[in-house]
Amino acid sequence: MTIRQIYKEVLDLLDIVPHEIDVKKILRDLEKEEPYLLKVGRDAYAWDPEAASESAVEQYRIKETRRVQRQAVIDTVSHVLSTHVGVAMTIRRVYEEAVRLLDFVPPEGDVRKVLSDLAKSDRRLVRAGRDAYLWAPDGKIGQLQPVGPRQTLRVQRQAISNAVSEVLRTRPGIALTISEIYEEAVNLLEFTPAESDVRRMLKDLAKSERYLVKVGRDAYAWAPDGVIPPRPAPPHVVGMIERRWRGDTLDEIGQAFGVTRERVRQLLKKYGGPSWAEVRRLQIEQAEGEERARQEAVATKIRTLLAGAGATTPEDVAAKTGLDAADVSKFWPTDLVHLRLWGHGSHESRWSDEEILEVIREAAIYEFPLTANGYAELLTVGQVTGPSLPRVSQRFGSWSAACDAAGVVSGQTYRPHYESQWGDEDILSIVRAYLEDPTAPNSIQGYDVWKRANAPDGPSGQTIRNRFRSWTAVKRLALTTSSIAREEPTHE
């Protein structure tokens, strides 16, 4: 058929009247694509399936398959974008969703090319950033915010900037390495950027943020007060600092790391390690904390044992509870001192002058005024621990001189045949009431104050000492008698 004949028959099939030249161009294009269309002579064409070669047919089939697949990619990409109106989607995300809808897996480059072509031909498809597109049928894209697991490069950079700034602002005055900043920033982001992106962002922020300063070679810090913190310590220096805080000496740390003690000192100073005073202060605080915990534990066991048991000695408490006798004596609760009885014992050692004077001051708490016999009695019953009376007189020349040096009042020896209007049971009853009063200090000096308010007709502290020779003796008798009275059954 000539081109003229083909043109006339096409006119009968169309509602429009094309130019004959258009039909001629179409025939020329179809000749390249259709293997069964052959050109006959100069101005005629024929459809002859038998004359087509197998290679030409195969090439046609390949081209047709590619055309169908391309159209399928175009339709699928349009569908994916139209179902996410106003949402910026990266090319990678569009590709992943399109693959799930297709029966074949096209190259990502085909999707990229389809998006580029559609953006030129369809005004509803708008490019958002460098590597993303969004479907905006109403043409309004100014207020659209990209969402989803993957964002555009511009939004990602802004997210990295915000995360890095937050990490640094929440830890002002502390130098952080780039690796530390990266690890904390990743926890704040919905995607995982490359560490090089964080490094580049830190470099840019250091130019625009006046409070962000670079510390050393590979660290940054947020310094709003203008004070640049020391550089982060290398791993081996971190180990030195930890060992120093544990109380290791500079020599021990140097031997462990193969450096001199002077080099250890220099590194600790350079990277903000603890000084000797700081280490000592920490050790003291830890020791005091352990001491308080031990005191509370011992006091709790003593209270539990003494509940309703009456007066006893620290040695008995230690034997019954399994505690150390020294801890029991040291940590005896102050509000239960009236239930404490002292066992017999003495202790002689080499005492300095100051230690002797301190013992005399302690003895004066229990006996006032403090006589030589009263001091000897306190030593005998174990109320105080100190040198013997002859040793004190030998050291200071006399008992009065020793008391003067200690700043306490010395007294005369008790009168052995002192008589008064109060019987022993009367005195012990009054002393027992004083000792069991939780608000009373339980010392002989406090007794006279307590007596004026609670037993104005009772004997004075001096009278009691004259009768029983020492305050310790009357305490023992009063508390022991109280315990016995509680244990005796009553008969009606």
3-state class (DSSP) for residue 10: helix
Is residue 376 in a domain? yes
Is residue 472 in a domain? yes
pLDDT of 142 > 60? The answer is no
3-state class (DSSP) for residue 177: strand
Residue-by-residue DSSP string for 105-142: ---HHHHHHHHHHHHHH-TTEEE-SSSEEEE-TT---T
Dihedral angle sign, alpha carbons of residues 373, 451, 428, 326 = negative
Is residue 417 in a domain? no
Is residue 37 in a domain? yes
3-state class (DSSP) for residue 151: coil
121 shares its domain with 157: no
Task: Please indicate whether residue 262 or residue 141 has the higher confidence score (pLDDT).
Answer: 262
Please, which residues bridge with residue 214 across strands? 220
Please, which residues bridge with residue 136 across strands? none
Considering only CA atoms, which of 229, 327, 303 is closest in space to residue 270? 229
Is residue 229 in a domain? no
63 shares its domain with 125: yes
96 shares its domain with 131: yes
CATH number, residue 110: 1.10.10.10
- Range among 135-139, 254-258, 447-451 rated most confident: 254-258
63 shares its domain with 131: yes
Q: What is the pLDDT of residue 420?
A: 52
Mean pLDDT to the nearest integer, 146-172: 74
Q: Which domain holds residue 13?
A: 3-49
Task: Please indicate whether residue 157 or residue 98 has the higher confidence score (pLDDT).
Answer: 98
Q: What is the pLDDT of residue 260?
A: 92
Is residue 279 in a domain? no
Neighbour tally for 160: CB within 10 Å: 24
Q: What is the pLDDT of residue 151?
A: 46
Q: How far is CA 441 from CA 199, 334, 337, 436, in A?
A: 69, 9, 9, 10
List pLDDT tens digits, range 338-391.
777 765 443 444 678 888 898 888 888 877 788 888 888 888 777 788 888 878
Q: What is the pLDDT of residue 60?
A: 66
3-state class (DSSP) for residue 491: coil
440 shares its domain with 457: yes
Mean pLDDT to the nearest integer, 434-443: 81
DSSP 333: -
Q: To the nearest 10°, report the CA torsion of 231, 237, 243, 246.
A: 0
Is residue 481 in a domain? yes
Tell me the pLDDT band of 421, cut-offs 50, 70 and 90.
low
Is the distance from CB of 27 to CB of 3 less than 8 angstroms?
Answer: yes
Is residue 161 in a domain? yes
List pLDDT tens digits, range 292-307.
898 899 999 888 888 8
250 shares its domain with 313: no
- Range among 33-37, 231-235, 457-461 rated most confident: 457-461
257 shares its domain with 322: no
Based on the structure, what is the number of domains in the chain?
Answer: 7
243 shares its domain with 269: yes
List pLDDT tens digits, range 65-95.
888 888 999 999 888 888 888 777 888 888 9
289 shares its domain with 259: no
